Amino acid sequence: MSVLAILGAQWGDEGKGKIVDVLSEKSNLVARFQGGANAGHTIKIGNEETILHQLPSGILREKANCILGNGMVIDPIGLLEEIEIVKSKGLEIDSRIKISHLAHIVTPLHKALDCSREIELGKNAIGTTKKGIGPCYSDKISRKGIQARELADILSVKEKLTSLLNFHLAKGNILESEKPRLIKEFEEFYDASQKISGFVFDTISMIHQYIKSDRNILIEGAQGTLLDVDFGSYPFVTSSNTIAGNICTGLGISPKNVHDILGVFKAYTTRVGAGPFPTELLDATGDYLQKTGHEFGATTKRRRRCGWFDAVVGKYSSMINGFTNIALTKLDVLDGLDEIKICTNYKNGKYPGIDLHLAEPEYITLPGWKSTISGIRKFEDLPINTRVYINKLEELLETPIGFISVGKSRDQIISK
């Protein structure tokens, strides 16, 4: 029996979906504990690519039950679309989807609030995914939210959403001119809500039954450590805690129930949206990483910003999550480079403490390997310079690197 958590260690899009897919073969249960449709987790099986936003990646494994935990914010309209996409692949999934009765619900009002807040921020906009995540978590914390357990009584949802709309109109958060469009969108929302209400479940009792009966549980993080609302590059973060510490509150389990915490690191760094990024490359190498890595957001299709591996924030991420193991992804993207840099220090201050906007990175330079590694399956068969790069990261992160991903597909993985 094992309870393994797989978490993003940088600014999201590290390849969590692929790693969850690889490691979920023997999982009886796969659970998400935070975030919502802002996530975009890509899984490639054979020639077919699937992008999941709210459904845990275990949904593509026929035997795994999937929990959308109480710490998530669920968008019924988006979820229904996603369910249809997965079903069209011939998978039977209805009986395996379990939405926590305590999860909060994203409504069209939250998406509109997300958009208007971004417009209001102007040049200081966060660059959110506009999926309504921040406003939904805000309403949760200010005790005005709608929980999944309420979806069964659609009349009371209608009442609650109408009063929520009136509240935000009165506060000037939403313009009166938007009201007719929203009222129309609410109809689609009520319809979707009714349809997903059949998936609502007491997932707390369920996960504890799995723990008691020694079954394999995999916990799938979304976003990444530097997007955590407390520990990330605030305010350029998401609105949930993405780190290991939130697994327990997002699922209703104890810290003693989690055995292993695997951090997923990309072999370089990317970030979508605004905010500090000390090792960002605004040059030909940055363009090279972006093009070779096909670095476009899986949810918003925005171009991802690219830069060198930042071992300063990496070490911090390992420390606060307590990673027991690391999966290093997209190493193949570095194949063509003559030299590869790693940021090992900030010249002008210690992190955490220094404002990331001000950080001046200091680099070490390692030689590239200039050969194709995507077909390699054994660590010993990797070029010597590739092994040197991996070993250096392991030393800097003070955590073993147990998995190395060298391509998008399930089989393109090396266990070390």
Provide the binding-site residues for ligand IMO, judged by CB under 6 A: 8, 12-13, 38-41, 126-129, 131, 133-134, 222-224, 227, 238-239, 272-273, 298
- Provide, rounded to whole angstroms, the least separation between the CB of residue 298 and Mg ion: 4
In this complex, which beta carbon is closest to ligand IMO, that of residue 63 or of residue 302? 302
The single residue among 40, 69, 232, 361 that binds ligand GDP, judged by CB under 6 A, is: 40
How many residues lie near ligand GDP (CB under 6 A)?
Answer: 21
In the bound state with ligand IMO, the residue whose beta carbon lies nearer, of 144 and 303, is 303
Residues contacting 101, CB < 8 A, separation 6+? 70, 147, 148, 149, 200, 201, 202, 203
| Residue among 96, 330, 341, 416 that touches ligand GDP (CB under 6 A) | 330
Shorter beta-carbon distance to ligand GDP: residue 18 or 111: 18
Residues in the chain: 416
Q: Is 16 in the site for ligand GDP (CB under 6 A)?
A: yes
At closest approach, how far in Å is the CB of 244 from ligand IMO?
15
Confirm or reject binding of residue 21 to Mg ion (CB under 5 A): no
Q: How far is the CB of 297 from ligand GDP (least distance, A)?
A: 7
Sign of the Cα torsion 353, 356, 358, 363 reads: positive
| Cβ count near 274 (within 10 Å) | 17
Q: Is 293 in the site for Mg ion (CB under 5 A)?
A: no
Query: How far apart are the C-alpha atoms of 362 and 225, rounded to whole Å?
Result: 22
What DSSP line would sit under 298-337, residue for residue? Answer: TTT-PBPEEE-EEHHHHHHHHHHHT-SEEEEE-GGGGTT-
Least Å from the CB of residue 129 to ligand IMO: 3
Retrieve residue 106's tokens: 């994203």
Q: What is the closest distance, in whole angstroms, from the C-beta atom of residue 336 to ligand GDP in the complex? A: 12
For residue 368, the partner it binds in Mg ion, ligand GDP, ligand IMO, none, with Cβ less than 5 to 8 A by kind, is none
Site membership for ligand GDP, residue 408 (CB under 6 A): yes
β-strands 260-266, 41-45 pairing: unpaired
Residue 310 annotated in active site: no
> Under the criterion CB under 6 A, does residue 13 sit at the interface with ligand GDP?
yes
Among residues 41, 53, 104, 168, the one annotated as catalytic is 41
∠ CA 217-241-301, nearest 5°, is 90
Q: Is 41 one of the annotated active-site residues of the chain?
A: yes
The token pair at 412 is: 């393109």
| Sole binder of ligand GDP in the list 148, 207, 262, 298 (CB under 6 A) | 298
Going from the C-alpha of 277 to that of each of 130, 225, 353, the distances in angstroms are 21, 14, 15
CA pair distance 229, 223, nearest whole angstrom: 11
- For residue 385, the surrounding DSSP H or E stretch is helix 384-397
Q: Which residues bind ligand GDP (CB under 6 A)?
A: 8, 12-18, 40-42, 44, 298, 329-330, 332-333, 405-408
Q: Which residues bind Mg ion (CB under 5 A)?
A: 13, 40, 298
